[in-house]
Amino acid sequence: LFICIDHVGLAVPDLDEAVKFHAETFGWRELHREVNEEQGVAEAMLGTGEQGEENAKIQLLAPLRPDSAIGKFLDRNGQGIQQLAYRVKDLDKVSEVLRARGMRLLYPEAKRGTAGSRINFVHPKDARGVLLELVEPAVDPDH
Ligand code: MC0
């Protein structure tokens, strides 16, 4: 069903400070940064290697607004792991299979995620306490 773990998402209060910390302390490299208004986040994708090659990745997520998903998460839990993201080849197909297996997906249709990807989420209550993101990467992430 899944290709691999795409990334692990960490909720952080301050994006610049968090990027600096993870780069200087653990050697992560910044691959990509963007603001996603719809999701209410400023995000940075950090990898173990160069952009364009396969990387282990973490995604740092800072809230644009207090009432966003990340804003609420920080309020409730403080900073830490907010999501686990699985990479998929065909999000619509995987969503259909998971719905048939009783999982609630948060959105009826895919939304836009990092670097032009298509995303949806399995409700954390159904995924046994884990907010599971499903990511179908863009065919050409630079366009
Ligand atoms: C909430 N819960 C979680 C959780 N967030 N459990 C595990 N991990 C999380 N991150 C638990 C709550 O503690 C609560 O449990 C229960 O789920 C339901 O909570 P709720 O009050 O109904 O809902 P909210 O308001 O806490 O919202 C949770 C929900 C929301 C997952 C629906 O965070 C959401 O819509 N997330 C999807 C979008 C998102 O996360 N966007 C930011 C990343 P109890 O036991 O107290 O009932 S954007 C992104 O990731 C993009 C850019 C990308 O990667 O491409």
Question: For residue range 1-17, what is the model confidence (pLDDT) as tens digits?
Answer: 999 999 999 999 999 99
Domain 4-136 has CATH 3.10.180.10: yes
Place of tokens 């989420």: 121
What does the radius of gyration of the chain's CA atoms come to, in whole angstroms?
A: 15
Domain ranges of the chain: 4-136
C-alpha distances out from residue 43 to 3, 54, 79, Å: 23, 19, 14
Tell me, using a 6 A CB cutoff, whether residue 62 lines ligand 1: no
Q: Find how far residue 25's CA is from the centre of its chain.
A: 22
- pLDDT, one tens digit per residue, over 58-117 is 999 999 999 999 999 999 999 999 999 999 999 999 999 999 999 999 999 999 999 999
Question: So what's the ipTM on this one?
Answer: 0.97
Mutate to test the pocket of ligand 1, among 36, 37, 39 (most ligand atoms within 8 A of CB): 39
- Which atom of ligand 1 has the smallest separation from the CA of 131? 8
Closest CA to 34 of 71, 60, 55: 60
CA–CA separation, 84 and 58 (whole Å): 10
- The helix/strand/coil state of 93 is helix
Strands (E), 12-98: 29-36, 41-47, 57-63, 80-87
Tokens found for residue 55: 């990387």
Tell me, using a 6 A CB cutoff, whether residue 120 lines ligand 1: no
Question: pLDDT value at position 141?
Answer: 64
Closest CA to 120 of 130, 109, 129: 109
CA–CA separation, 101 and 30 (whole Å): 37
